[in-house]
Amino acid sequence: MPSTVAARPVRRAAEEADPRLVDGALAAAMAVLVAVIAAADLEGTGRAGALAYLFAAGFGALLLARRHAPRLVLVLTVLGIFVYYVFQLPPIGIALPAVAALFSAAEADRTRSAVAAGAVLVSVAAYFRVDEGLPAAYLVSYDLLTDVALVAAAIALGVSVRARRELRAHQERLRALAAAEERHEAGRRMQAEKAGIARDLHDTIGHTMSVIAVHSNVATEAVGRDDEAVARALEQIRAAASTTLRELRTTVKLLRSPGADPAERGSIGLAGLPQLVATAEDAGVEVTARIDVDPDELDATIDAAAYRILQESLTNVLRHSGARHALVEARLRDGTLELRIADDGRGASPDTGAAGGGRGLAGMAERAGLLGGSFAAGPRDSRARGGGGFEVRATLPRRLEP
């Protein structure tokens, strides 16, 4: 394990080194290696001189262009080896001078050219060895085997380096795509959170302003005639304003804490429906509430959404309908929460019946749709029993899908 860990920085440094320095070092190493073998003159030809060293320098110099023209470098190297032996210079091996060129071609995805060049070198070497009268056993067991091993190793190493480089590039692309997806998802979540906060602010402030407007009118009309009515109206205004301020503080706290859970917006849910009903009745609308739902059976998000839909619907009743009576129903049926709010008012159209210039109904529909539910609203049929007025229907799942 320590040797593997220690090798990683070395390999990383080599991969990140300046390509020109790498090519220069490889060219110098090849030139020196060929020159040393030529100078050794293992077969005692006595021709180890300037021409042999010039060829050695040429084999090295060709490698300076290995990245730009790997196939040309390979061809010139193979031809250079043949020309070298034409001059009957000291033996340097048939495959050794071409090792770097074969590696470079394979690394540059010219594997077929490298294999072909290697096959030509090995075949030519084998032919001349046989022509020289060397025993076949020696040729197969030593000379040919050595050349084949050098060629195969050079090509395999080049393919390995290329594959590792391509894998690293692919991993970089995947990381970039994953980072872009994470940024997109974060933006989507932020936008959804902003939309949720905007809906909550609209519902809360819209409902409170409706209550304040109704009770301020009551107080204005009762001034000087009914002090108790004035006091009750002002108390309702105070209570509505206090409740709204608490919700606004919670929302501001959430905005200041980006990592906070949206469930921390408050204990809003169907448990708060009696207060909504009481507020509407204090404003002069008789409300019949039929709630057959245990809030514990609902997800907190569903519970809060149901409360907001009922709150916005009652706000519309107070603001626009002129109704005297409203019906609020909530019940669970086959795992679905069904909501219904109906009044006996003027039966406003969806455009005029939505608080805030139409955003009220649109916000409720959006809220229900995001949670996988449905929403419908419109005038009630005046010919039906209890007809006339306006009706809102919404369905929400009891639990959110995991």
Q: What would the pLDDT profile of 87-116 be if each residue is shown by its tens digit?
A: 989 989 888 999 999 999 999 999 999 999
What is the predicted pLDDT for the residue at 199? 65
Confidence of residue 14 (pLDDT cuts 50, 70, 90): very low
- Phi first, then psi: give them for residue 329, nearest 5 degrees: -125, 140
Q: Which helix (H) or strand (E) holds 287?
A: strand 286-292
Q: Residue 235's pLDDT is what?
A: 78
Q: Tell me the C-alpha distance between 13 and 371, whole Å.
A: 52
Q: State which H helix or E strand residue 184 sits in.
A: helix 144-222
335-351 burial, b if ≥16 CB within 10 A, otherwise e?
eebbbbbbbbbbbbebe
* % of the chain residues with pLDDT over 70: 75
pLDDT band for position 214 (50/70/90)?
A: confident
Question: What is the per-residue pLDDT across 22-44, written as a single tens digit (0 to 9) for each?
Answer: 899 999 999 999 999 999 888 88
The Cα 354–Cα 347 span in angstroms is: 12
**Among the ranges given (110-114, 257-261, 305-309), the one the predictor scored with the smallest mean pLDDT:** 257-261
pLDDT over 80 at 239, yes or no: no
Predicted pLDDT of residue 109? 92
Is the pLDDT assigned to residue 206 strictly greater than 70? Answer: no
Which of 151, 38, 35 shows the shortest CA–CA distance to 100?
Answer: 151
Q: Give the confidence band of 261 by pLDDT, cuts at 50, 70, 90.
A: very low
Q: Given a cut of 80, is residue 164 above it in pLDDT?
A: yes
Sheet holding 325-333, edge to edge: 286-292, 325-333, 336-343, 390-397, 374-379
Please name every residue paired with 328 in a beta bridge, in sequence order, or none if there are none.
Answer: 289, 341
Token pair belonging to 54? 């010039």
Q: Does the structure show a pLDDT above 90 at 230?
A: no
202-228 mean pLDDT? 73
Query: 283: closest CA among 329, 345, 196, 330?
Result: 345
For residue 361, the model assigns a pLDDT of 82
Give whole-number Cα distances, 121 to 48, 72, 73, 142, in Å. Answer: 22, 16, 15, 16
- Tracing tokens 């933006």 back to the chain, one arrives at 187
pLDDT of residue 252: 61
pTM > 0.75: no
Of 66 and 259, the structure prediction assigns the larger pLDDT to 66
pLDDT over 90 percentage in the chain: 30
**According to the per-residue pLDDT averaged within each range, which of 80-84, 182-186, 194-198, 235-239 is highest?**
80-84
Strand partners, 287: 326
Helices (H) and strands (E) in the chain, counts: 13, 5
> Which of the four pLDDT bands, split at 50, 70 and 90, describes residue 49?
confident
Q: What pLDDT does residue 67 have? A: 92
The pLDDT, as a whole number, for residue 348 is 54
Phi and psi angles of residue 136, each rounded to the nearest 5 degrees, phi first: -65, -35
Average pLDDT over residues 231-244: 75
Specify the range with the lowest mean pLDDT, choosing from 59-68, 126-135, 229-238: 126-135
pLDDT digits (tens, 9 = 90+) for 311-370: 888 888 887 667 889 999 999 988 899 999 998 887 654 444 443 444 678 878 887 887
Q: Is the pLDDT of residue 388 over 60?
A: yes
Q: What is the mean pLDDT of the chain?
A: 79
Answer whether residue 83 shows pLDDT above 90. Answer: yes
Mean pLDDT along residues 55-63: 94
